[in-house]
Amino acid sequence: MRKKVIIAWGAIALFAISTASVAAENVADQVKKAVEKCTLDQPGTKPFHLKAEYAPSYERDINSHRTGEIEIWWESPTRWRRELRSPEFHQVLIVDGSNQWQKNDGDYFPDWLRELALAIIRPIPIPMDVLLTRVKDGDVKQLRIPNRANGQLGFIQQTNVNWEAADGPGDAQETGNGGIALLGDPAMLFYTNGPGWGGLYHDFMDFHGRMVARTVASGYIEVKAKVDVLEDLGSTPAGFFDTSAPGGDANPINTVVLNETELRKNLLPANAFEWPTLEQGPLEGVVWTEVVVDRSGHIREMIPPIADNPGVKDAAEAGFRAMQFQPFVRDGVPVQVWGKLSVRFTTVRPAGMETFLSAKDYFERGRKASFLAEGGTAPYVLSAEFQTGTPDGPKTGRYQDTWISADEWKREAWLGSSHFLRSETEGKYYVVAEGPQANILRTILRIVEPIPATDTMTESDWRIKRDTVDGIKTIRVVRGSERPDGELDPSNSEGFWFDESGQLIKCSVSGLEILEKNIQPYGGVQVARSIDVKKGDQNAAVITVTGVGPADPSLAKTFKVKGHEWQRQFTAEVR
């Protein structure tokens, strides 16, 4: 007889988002409307005068000298004037048709300032037909995210589209990786990103039918511009748009965006990168960065390198900064260049240090050792009962996993009037979330199979070492913060403990501590028959397997749930 569990129940409450597949044509139409609505620099916009002040978004960057003003007088897409003011650079630019006039105080145009000035009036600087093609071919994710307004908790729709670099030659602004996010209904621009462009948009105002963001932020050192003035252009002084006026610079500053292949054509011979020995993480991988090269061929801006192992970042930064380029020339005039650079690294562990497998290897081995869906070969049905806290007090629910094959399965849970289902059949995924406790049920599914999918993890985030859990020798795989005593900070960390055979013994996920107990074999897999879940010092749930046995393959016909098709996105769960 199973013992009764008497505990002070803590409700399982995880932030959850729901995702759904969206027709590409519908998303492309939403993107087109949102971009046109938020773009000032386009035909049909009423002539305007705009003035914005900008400064770093965060106090830590206050000494970065990224403060000043942007002022634009705009008559049409081919006739306008812009003045940029900062402590280290001042530019007046006049455009009239194909003619341009510049006066620059400073020999280098900070690219973060160019990108910010562009983002204010033209959020996506690539042609609309190119953008829509990229959107239709891109990866679309639609989310419902919690939103509190007027004291009431509701949801707001967010649509994210990301696209990969296109093959073949062309302007790297158009052919590189990029993305856009829309928020709300009707959809408004939320953020954009691409080679040499991008921004984050808030606080919209109407200007003759255009919805213009009064707050625009951009840059890896985030700079935020506040639009203080947006008004009709009115009259301008004589010669205000005259590109033949005396006093302009003979060699104006322009910036071009190149792909890495084109950027490297001007790279001068340099010393090889020197890589340190690494105690943690992968010993081989790639590290990359974005750079801006000035007209003399020197790197003037660079984002912190992003590496498959963060232990090589300092060495990579030193190597990148040592690079020199032959000046880039366009139409006989030197130009600034934005581009990406990447290198491979190969290194070793310090002498005498134990070498571990990768986090990915431990996760894959753990799934095969611990979960029937990964390590088993015969169809099965696993049933369980769980007790958990809810806003209405402790409740008892049911969980069932029906598995026919790796691509034919159904998992579902019930709690009172709530029901959560996830299934796969005939190459399609399905999700059903019904009732007020659907998010709790979703969490139950995560608890039963908590090891993250390897296609949603970044190897370099994870650290590996030996540890002991209740006297069992384990391999600990963790990411995030640790307290001074070596314990994980549950607010921003995850951890998994595996025994020598790969069996999952314990994990810490989203503030929950999950203990696998009463482990017994079935179908060649060591299956936990009881799972204890704690949140802080409170018991949050107990899951008890009530039965496991063979499944009838004909049950696969129940896995299709019409009207609930789903694309597996934004989830660390394999199933």
For 242-253, the pLDDT digits (tens) are: 999 999 999 899
Which tokens hold the place of 133?
């093609």
Distance CA 474, CA 224 (A): 47
Query: Which pLDDT value is given to residue 12?
Result: 55
Which tokens hold the place of 235?
């009259």
pLDDT digits (tens, 9 = 90+) for 397-456: 999 999 999 999 999 999 999 999 999 999 999 999 999 999 899 999 999 999 999 888
Query: Which pLDDT value is given to residue 55?
Result: 97
pLDDT digits (tens, 9 = 90+) for 490-544: 888 999 999 999 999 999 998 899 999 999 999 999 999 999 999 988 889 999 9
pLDDT at residue 81 is higher than 80: yes
Mean pLDDT of the chain: 91
Is 146:158 a contact under the CB 8 Å cutoff?
A: no
Query: Which pLDDT value is given to residue 236?
Result: 95
Query: Which pLDDT value is given to residue 25?
Result: 76
Out of 1.10.760, 2.60.40, 2.50.20, 3.90.550, which CATH number does the structure's domain 368-566 have?
A: 2.50.20
Task: Tell the residue number behind the tokens 């696209």, with chain if given.
Answer: 163
Q: What is the mean pLDDT of residues 348-364?
A: 90
Query: Which pLDDT value is given to residue 141?
Result: 83
Query: Which pLDDT value is given to residue 522?
Result: 95
pLDDT digits (tens, 9 = 90+) for 146-185: 776 666 767 788 999 999 887 655 568 888 899 999 998 8
Question: Taking the domains of the chain in order of start, what are their residue ranges?
Answer: 18-232, 255-346, 368-566
Check if 255-346 and 368-566 are the same fold.
no
Query: Which pLDDT value is given to residue 4?
Result: 37
Share of the chain above pLDDT 90, in %: 75
C-alpha distance from residue 276 to each of 227, 310, 312, 353, 457 (Å): 46, 11, 7, 14, 24
pLDDT digits (tens, 9 = 90+) for 544-574: 999 999 999 999 999 999 989 887 766 788 8
Query: Which pLDDT value is given to residue 171?
Result: 67
Distance CA 454, CA 475 (A): 18
CATH class for domain 255-346?
alpha beta
Is 443:15 a contact under the CB 8 Å cutoff?
A: no
Distance CA 62, CA 60 (A): 6
Q: Which of 11-25, 297-311, 481-495 has the highest mean pLDDT?
A: 297-311
CA quadruple 62, 64, 65, 66: dihedral sign:
negative
Distance CA 511, CA 490 (A): 5
Query: Which pLDDT value is given to residue 376?
Result: 86
- Kindly indicate the confidence band of residue 24, based on its pLDDT and cuts at 50, 70 and 90: low
**Residues in CB range of 106: below 8 A, 6 or more apart:** 88, 89, 90, 91
Distance CA 2, CA 9 (A): 19
Q: What is the mean pLDDT of residues 191-205?
A: 96
Q: What is the mean pLDDT of residues 306-335?
A: 95
Query: Which pLDDT value is given to residue 434?
Result: 93
pLDDT at residue 53 is higher than 80: yes
Query: Which pLDDT value is given to residue 484?
Result: 84
pLDDT at residue 197 is higher than 90: yes
Q: How many residues does the chain have?
A: 575
Strands 504-509 and 488-498 come out as antiparallel
Query: Which pLDDT value is given to residue 16?
Result: 39
pLDDT at residue 473 is higher than 50: yes
Q: What is the mean pLDDT of residues 464-481?
A: 93
Task: Tell the residue number behind the tokens 């891109």, with chain if given.
Answer: 138
pLDDT digits (tens, 9 = 90+) for 357-395: 889 999 999 999 999 999 988 999 999 999 998 777 889
Task: Tell the residue number behind the tokens 């994210």, with chain if given.
Answer: 160
Distance CA 339, CA 532 (A): 51
Query: Which pLDDT value is given to residue 6?
Result: 36
Distance CA 411, CA 574 (A): 12
**Residues in CB range of 143: below 8 A, 6 or more apart:** 17, 18, 19, 157, 158, 159, 160, 570
Query: Which pLDDT value is given to residue 216?
Result: 98
Backbone φ, ψ for residue 375 (5° rounding): -95, -15
